[in-house]
Amino acid sequence: MATLSGAGSIFEVAEAENEAVPSYSTGSPRRRRRIRWWRLVVLLLAGAYFLIPIYAGIKFSLQNVEGHFSFQAYRALPSAPGFTGALTLSLELAVATMVVSTLLMVPTAIYVHIRLPQLRRVLDVVTVMPIVIPPIVLIVGVLGAFPEWARASPYLLSFMYVILAMPFVYRSLDAGLGAIDLKTLTEASRSLGGNWIKTLWRVILPNIRPALLSATVLTLALVFGEYTMASLDLWTTIPVWIVQFSISSDGPVQVAASMLGLVGTWILLIAVVSLDRSQSRRSHRKLGA
Amino acid sequence: MSSSEVAASDASTSVLGSGAATLNNNSRLRRVLRRSEPTFAIAPFLIYAFLGLGIPSLAVVYQAFHAQTGGWTLYNIRLVTHGVFLVGFENSIKLGLISSIVPGILGVFLAYAIQTSHSNVLRRLTSTASGVLANFGGINLTFMFIATLGSTGILTYWLHDIGINLANFGFNLFTFSGVLFVYMYFQLPLMVLVITPALGGLRPSWREAAENMGASSWSYWRHVGIPVLMPSILGGMLLLFGSAFAAYATAESLTLGLVALSPIQIGNFLNGNVIAGETHVGYAIAFGMLIILTVTMVLYSLVRKRASKWLR
């Protein structure tokens, strides 16, 4: 195409842009406006449905006993009976889950992408199982089958949380690995004399960092939100504590804990994603691309 | 990896690499190692998945057919296929179906609206929110909706101010309709997560081709868009079915365990809310759920096979 006239090359660029950004609005301006109007209604309705309950929760947690605005609930949270113990347990479980999940899923996902692409469908099906098999069935089976020493440890929960996180972790990694040219990268690294560990550590992992980070944050969200398994395994993690505390004393304190968890995770995830975007953009600029 | 592929990659290494001589020295050992490498590499994952998914499922099946005193029995199975437990299955399937079809369809519209908005900020906000909200549920969700739609909730007040009383429409947060409405809060994000890649697979060139041949927007969707997306939409809905069917924490905290749903019934047996010594009935209910979900999974993999044909 480079040998063609100037007009031809402009056409080429225009078409390339069309390919890169899926464009759905090639029709007349009138239809375009109609689609936009329709889209606005859908987005507004969804926004209302998702944001009003969050607003209601936050508003409720910011009320004192007389119904006035106050940070009382958030101030009372750290000293609420049992809160620190539950928080410590949840944090320990979260760290264990994230470490095991990363060590297990990252090498597997990378290996399957490079060497065994035909196994991707098998992995797709296996990693979707934890959404389909109810956590309650899994924990019932675990409590019925696992030996005494395993059931006595809270880390049994971490063991199962790795399973529960699989659908989100694997999908995130799968998308991240699919977005980079893994084959070229590894071949380049290998031909420059890098061994597998070096390739993994210095080439692949930095390239899938956004996927890795969002998988980690989603795991964190899962551990801090999981109630079924923890309550049936009789461990007081944060969600279980919130339920117990709400039975013993009602008030906005447990709502404050819930809202902190939800909004905190969301902000953390947005921060991770946008931080990484801006960083990769900067490195692109440095390369002059 | 087949042996011919191994040989080919060996050959390419010896051509490209500097170590042709060293390769010959221990090439047989290497070949053995190479051939077993895939097995070793994938083994930890498969073992973990078997321990965490396979063993518990097998244990549920085993215990469902055993009496508390040991020994095989069909008593538990016979018990859970009658009476209140059968109603529990029916309610769970009904809830699963409705809360997979409704959020399934709405989720497609929402994902399409987000995708065609061309706003990176919006896309980033919604994709992160989908991930967080799809994992959200249980008591936290219940609190939020009580603060929104409970008798003193803010939306109840707002609607009251403009003269709408939700109770007149038969809506009550703590019954079936309420559970359905609340489930959408994690079902819709899950659908958006699942369907977005499929929407990305709709090529603009298909639309242009359809338009060049004089197709209207409606006939494009009728003859191209919807048929291409259909397997993915159905696959997503089956996932939503599994997720709604399985949800325990939300239903339990919202209805205080009073609506007959299979997961709540299992929880009751395990918590000892029912006569002690009948935990195996709980296993039998779990077994019933596994059967229903196996059927769901088989459907899902069939549908997925069709979906991947188009979206490559």
Q: What is the DSSP string of chain A?
A: -TTS-HHHHHHHHHHHHHHHS-----S-HHHHHHHHHHHHHHHHHHHHHHHHHHHHHHHHHTB-TTS-B-SHHHHHTTTSTTHHHHHHHHHHHHHHHHHHHHHHHHHHHHHHHHT-GGGHHHHHHHHHHHHHS-HHHHHHHHHHHS-HHHHTSTHHHHHHHHHHHHHHHHHHHHHHHHHS-HHHHHHHHHHTT--HHHIIIIIIHHHTHHHHHHHHHHHHHHHHH--HHHHHTT---HHHHHHHHHHHS-STHHHHHHHHHHHHHHHHHHHHHHHHHHHHHHHHHHHT-
Contact A131 B185 (CB under 8 A): no
Residue B18 to residue B27: CA distance in whole angstroms: 15
Residues B112 and B213 in one domain: yes
> Which class for B71: exposed (0-12), middle (13-18), buried (19 or more C-beta within 10 A)?
exposed
3-state secondary structure string, B34-62?
HHHHHHHHHHHHHHHHHHHHHHHHHHHHH
Q: Are B235 and B194 in contact (CB under 8 A)?
A: yes
Q: Does the pLDDT value for residue A3 go beyond 60?
A: no
**How near does any CA of chain B get to the CA of A4, in Å?**
24
* Residue A126 CA, distance from chain mean position: 19
Average pLDDT for B121-150: 80
Q: Which residues in A lie closer than 8 A to residue B5 (C-beta atoms)? A: none
Q: Can you give the pLDDT at residue A125? A: 80
Q: Looking at residue B215, what is its pLDDT?
A: 81
From B64, B91, B116, the end of a domain falls on B64
Question: Which range among A77-81, B141-145, B261-265 shows the weakest confidence by mean pLDDT?
Answer: A77-81
- By 3-state DSSP, what share of chain B in percent is helix, strand and coil, each rounded to 5? 80, 0, 20
Contact at CB, B138 and A214, closer than 8 angstroms: no
The pLDDT, as a whole number, for residue B18 is: 45
Which carries the bigger pLDDT value, residue A6 or residue A162?
Answer: A162
- CATH code of residue B306: 1.10.3720.10
Residues B42 and B179 in one domain: no
Residue of A nearest to B263 (CA): A136
A63 phi, psi to nearest 5 deg: -110, 145
Residues 6+ apart with CB under 8 A from B50: none
Residue A273 to residue B204, Cβ atoms within 8 A: no
Same domain, B55 and B201: no
The domain segmentation of chain A, as residue ranges, is: 80-287
Q: What is the pLDDT of residues A44-63, one digit of tens each?
A: 888 888 888 888 888 888 87
- Which residue range(s) make up the domain with B59? 3-64
pLDDT at B146 over 70: yes
pLDDT confidence of residue A158: 92
Residue A99 has pLDDT above 90, yes or no: yes
The pLDDT tens digits for B225-234 are 888 888 788 8
Contact (CB<8Å) A246/B44 = no
Tell me, yes or no, whether B188 and B95 share the same domain: yes
Rounded to whole angstroms, the Cα distance separating A139 from A228 reads 8
Q: Return d(Cα B304, Cα A272) in angstroms, integer.
A: 32
For residue B70, being part of any structural domain is answered with: no
Look up the ipTM and state it.
0.76
Task: Note the pLDDT tens digit of each residue in A123-150.
Answer: 888 888 887 788 888 988 888 888 888 8
Say how far apart CA A221 and CA B309 lie, in whole Å: 34
Q: Looking up tokens 């960092």, which residue turns up?
A: A209
pLDDT score at A5: 33
Cross-chain residue pair B140–A42, CB shorter than 8 Å: no
Give residue A278's pLDDT: 59
| Mean residue pLDDT across chain A | 77
Q: For residue A111, give the nearest of B42, B57, B129 by CB distance.
A: B42
Cα dihedral B45, B47, B48, B53 sign: positive
* d(CA A242, nearest CA chain B) in Å: 8
Query: Which residue of A18, A26, A111 is in closest CB contact with B41?
Result: A111
Interface contacts A/B by beta carbons within 8 Å: 268
Number of separate domains in chain B: 2
On whether residue B9 sits in a domain, the answer given is yes
Nearest in space to B141 (alpha carbons), one of B107, B114, B178: B178
> Does residue B185 share a domain with residue B51?
no
Q: For A25-34, what is the mean pLDDT?
A: 50
CATH classification code of A80-287:
1.10.3720.10
Of B299, B120, B248, B111, residue with least CA distance to B190: B111
What is the least distance, in Å, from the CA of A56 to any CA of chain B?
5
Are B155 and B36 found together in one domain?
no
Instruction: Choose the closest CB to A266 out of B1, B132, B293.
Output: B132
Assess if residue B69 is contained within a domain. Answer: no
What integer pLDDT is reported at residue A281 of this predicted model? 56
pLDDT at B34 over 70: yes
pTM of the model: 0.77
Residue B286 lies in a domain: yes
Which pLDDT tens digit goes with each residue over B1-28? 444 444 444 444 444 444 444 555 567 7
Cβ neighbours for B120, distance < 8 A, ≥ 6 positions apart: none
Q: Same structural domain for residues B7 and B145?
A: no
- CA-based nearest residue to A26, from A41, A15, A42, A11: A15
Report chain B's mean pLDDT, rounded to a whole number.
Answer: 78
Q: Which residues contact A212 (CB under 8 A, 6 or more apart)?
A: A102, A106, A172, A173, A176, A205
Is B20 exposed, middle or buried, given 0-12, 13-18 or 19+ CB atoms closer than 10 A? exposed
Length of chain A: 289
Q: Are residues B105 and B222 in the same domain?
A: yes
For A169, nearest residue in chain B (alpha carbons): B131
Q: Would you say residue B261 has pLDDT above 80?
A: yes
Same domain, B17 and B105: no
